[in-house]
Amino acid sequence: MAPEQFEERRKLADLSFLIQGITFTVYSDGRGTERLFPFDLIPRIIPNSEWRRIDRGLTQRVLALNLFLQDIYGKQCILRDRKISRSLVYSCAHFHREMVGVEVPKGIFTHICGIDLVRDSKTGEFLVLEDNVRTPSGISYVLENRLVMTRIFPEVFQACEVLPLSHYPAELCRILRSLSPRGEDDAQIVLLSPGIYNSAYFEHSFLAQQMGIELVEGRDLIVDGGIVYTKTIHGLKRVDVIYRRVDDEFLDSLTFRPDSLLGVPGLMGAYRAGNVALANAVGNGVADDKAIYAYVPEFIRYYLGEEPILQTVDTYVCAKATDLAYVLDHMSELVVKAVGESGGYGMLMGPTADRHTIQQFRNRVSANPRNYIAQPVIPLSRVPSYDPSSRRLAGRHVDLRPYCLFDGQKVTIVPGGLTRVALQRDSLVVNSSQGGGSKDTWILRGEG
C-alpha cells in the first residue's frame, strides 16, 4: 500500500473515532478536555503458540488471586501458615476490614482482571507487571479498535485468520447474571458509573449498551430496608447485580469516605446482607498492592500447588529491612513505585532521574518503607508502529493488557487485549493519560 493510501485510511480511522465519541477525558488542562485515544493502525501480532502459554499463565494467576482474596477475608490460612506476614497484609491501604467474613456470591472476587504484561526485550519473555483486580478499564478500546480495523482494512482480515473477541460483553453479562440473589431469569443488572466526567465514561456507556443493561449513577440508586432500587419514572425497581466502576472508597458514604457523592449510602449493608451482588468484589485492592504483588508466585504454589507459568518482575519490598537497604543503595538503577498508586503516578525512574529527585525519593522511602517497592528497569520490547511525522514504520515500546473473566469455575480470556504503545520515540510511558496510544492486537488462528 502506498504511503498516501495509508495516510488516507489513517485519517478515516481518526474521524471514525471522533464521530463515535471514543474519547477519554484529560484533566490536566483544568477544563476536562476530551481527547482521542491515539490509535496506531499497524496491528501487533502475537503467535498463537505464545498466546496459549500466556492464556494458561493468566488463568493460573487469576485463580490464585481469587483464592487469596477468599482466604484473606475468610479463614486466613495463608497467614497462619506464615507464607506472608500478617502486618504486610493488614497494612495495605485497600485491605477492608468491612469485608472480613462476608460471603461473596459464588465465592468470586475477581470477576474481571486486566493483568498488565510486558515483554522483556532481552529475554523475550512476557512478565506480569500489575494485576489490576479492582476496576480495570480499556476493554472498550480493544473492541472498538477491532471494529475500526475491520472497517478500514477488510481485505487484511479476509487474508489472515484473526481470532475474534466480540464475545466479551456477552460473557461478562452471563457472569453478572449468574450472581443474582433472586435467580437469573429476571435479574436486574446495572452498571454503576461515576458519571460523565469520569475519564472512562465512554467505556461505561459502551459496555452497558453492549450488554443491554442500565447505566446508572449513584444518584439513580437508593437503598431502603437493605434492598437496592433504581429510581424510575414509574417508581422504585429492585436491583440484583451491580457491575460497579466506582472505587471501593466511594461506594458507600456510610461505610467509606463520608464525602463521596458517587456512591449509594447503605450499599455495603445491602451487599453484606447478600441482597445485591457487586462485581468486582469490595476489598480486592489488597491484591493490587505492589508489595503483595511480589508474593503472587508464592500464592500460586500455596493455593494451586503449581509453579507459576508467567514470571513476575523481581521486586524489592521496602517493608523488609534487607530489601530496603538494597533499594537505598541502588536507587539510581531501579524503578521505585508507591504501592497503592497506578497509572504511572508516584513513580521514580532511577536511571533517568536527576540527583535531586533521587534524594527526594530516598527520603520518602526511608520515612515510610511500607509504602514503596522497587524493581529493576525492564527494557520493554518494541513493535513496528506508524510514525506520522516521517510517514514510515518505526519501533515503539509496548505493553499488553489482556482481560480475564472468571465465572467461579473457569477463566475466559478474549484472545489479545489492549496493546498500549508509547508513540514518542524512546519513550517507555504507555499510559493514555501521558501520551500513549493503542493498537489492535492479533492472535492468529492455527500455528505460527
Partner 1 sequence: MLSRIAESLFWLARYIERAEDTARILDVNYQMLLEQSQDSYHLRWEPLIVMAGEEQLFRRLYSEVNAENVFEFLAFRHDNPGSIVQCIAKARENARTIRDRISREMWEDINGFYHMVSRFSPRDELVAGPHRFCDKIKFGTHRFHGVTDATSPHDEGWQFLRVGWSLERAEMTSRLVDVQYQNLLDELPTVGAPDNHQWMAVLRSVGAFEAYHRQYHSSIEPEKVAGMLILNSQHPRSIRFSTTEVQSGLRAISGTGQGSYANEAERLAGKVVERLSYDRIEEIFKQGLHSYLHELSQMFGLMGRDIARNYFYYAMVA
Interface residues with partner 1 (CB under 8 A) are: 18-21, 195-196, 201, 204-206, 208-209, 214-217, 219-220, 222, 224, 230-234
Question: DSSP assignment, residue 105?
Answer: G
Q: How far is the CB of 145 from partner 1 (least distance, A)?
A: 17
- Residue whose CB is less far from partner 1, 21 or 101: 21
Cβ contacts of 209-217, under 8 Å, gap ≥ 24: 210/143, 210/169, 211/169, 211/170, 211/172, 211/173, 211/176, 212/173, 213/173, 213/176, 213/189, 213/243, 214/188, 214/189, 214/190, 215/190, 215/191, 216/190, 216/191, 216/192, 217/192, 217/193, 217/262
For the chain, give the number of residues: 448
- Residue whose CB is less far from partner 1, 145 or 381: 145
Q: How far is the CB of 230 from partner 1 (least distance, A)?
A: 6
Residue 327 grid cell? 533499594
Q: How far is the CB of 224 from partner 1 (least distance, A)?
A: 8
- Residue whose CB is less far from partner 1, 18 or 273: 18
- Residue whose CB is less far from partner 1, 77 or 222: 222
Q: How far is the CB of 205 from partner 1 (least distance, A)?
A: 4
Q: How far is the CB of 63 from partner 1 (least distance, A)?
A: 32
- Residue whose CB is less far from partner 1, 74 or 195: 195
Name the β-bridge partners of 398. Answer: 421
411 touches 404 (CB < 8 A): yes
Distance CA 427, CA 38 (A): 15
Residue at 249: amino acid letter: E
Comparing CA positions, the residue from 118, 18, 24, 15 lying closest to residue 418 is 118
Q: How far is the CB of 263 from partner 1 (least distance, A)?
A: 16
- Residue whose CB is less far from partner 1, 265 or 283: 265
How are beta strands 392-401 and 403-406 bridged, if at all? unpaired
Q: What is the largest CA-CA distance in the chain?
A: 66
